[in-house]
Copies of this chain bind each other. A is one copy, B any other.
Amino acid sequence: MPRFVDAAARRREIVEAVKRIVAADGLARVSLREVAAEAGLVVGSVRHYFDTAEELRVHALEAVADDVAGRVEAEADLVAQLCQLLPLDEARAVDLCVLTAFRLAARTDAALLPVADAAHARVAAVVGRSVRAALPDVEPHELVAEAERLLATVEGLALHALVHGRWLDADLCLAVVVAQAATLGRVPIS
């Protein structure tokens, strides 16, 4: 091997550039040229690590999804897990905003969909385990509904905070999540 270069680190740098672009200007601006410029490289160099533009997008989604899912899995408390899905600080805001953009794109992009589904499954599994621990005797059907009720609330909150951020500060986010978690098992599922 000739010159020694940490390829994995380079790929991470490029993914970081993608994240900055999505956070600032949206997925539409993620082109090879924009990404290369943001990463301080040229198109040819980016393509040396990601053969096609689609490969770059898929890898970027995998990277953020893994970051977010990892943070959720690292928490033991249910509320703490859910808080990892809220844009309560700058890092989470960027990751969640990128993840949300990619997830919506996955609806119409066959290459992105399995990655988005897998990430969602990881998070849902963690939340499902916490709900099971909180409600040991609940039926499976009700467990799914209760987990979905929590997850949907948190992701709806995140969406609101990202799009209409001025009307939804971190305190309100937290209050809503705590209140929502307190309703666990308080209501029968039809």
Contacts and interface: CB of A to CB of B under 8 A. Distances in A.
Interface of A: 24-28, 97, 100-101, 103-109, 116-117, 120, 144-146, 148-149, 151-157, 159-160, 162-164, 168, 172, 174-176, 178-180, 182-183, 186-190
Contacts of A189: 175-176, 179
Nearest to A147: B176
A103 B163 contact: yes
Contact of A145 (B107, B149, B175, B183): B175
Contact of A26 (B107, B151, B153): B107
Contacts of A116: 163-164
Chain A interface main SS type? helix
Contacts of A186: 183, 186-187
A155 B149 contact: no
Complex A-B, nearest 10 residue pairs according to Cβ-Cβ distance, in ascending order: A156-B156, A152-B156, A26-B108, A155-B156, A183-B183, A152-B157, A153-B153, A182-B187, A179-B187, A149-B176
Scoring A106, A156, A179 by chain B CB atoms within 10 A of each residue's CB, the highest score goes to A156
A92 to B, nearest CB: 16
A149 B144 contact: no
A159 B162 contact: no
A148 B157 contact: yes
B176 A152 contact: yes
A176 B25 contact: no
A179 to B, nearest CB: 5
Contacts of A160: 120, 148, 151-152, 155
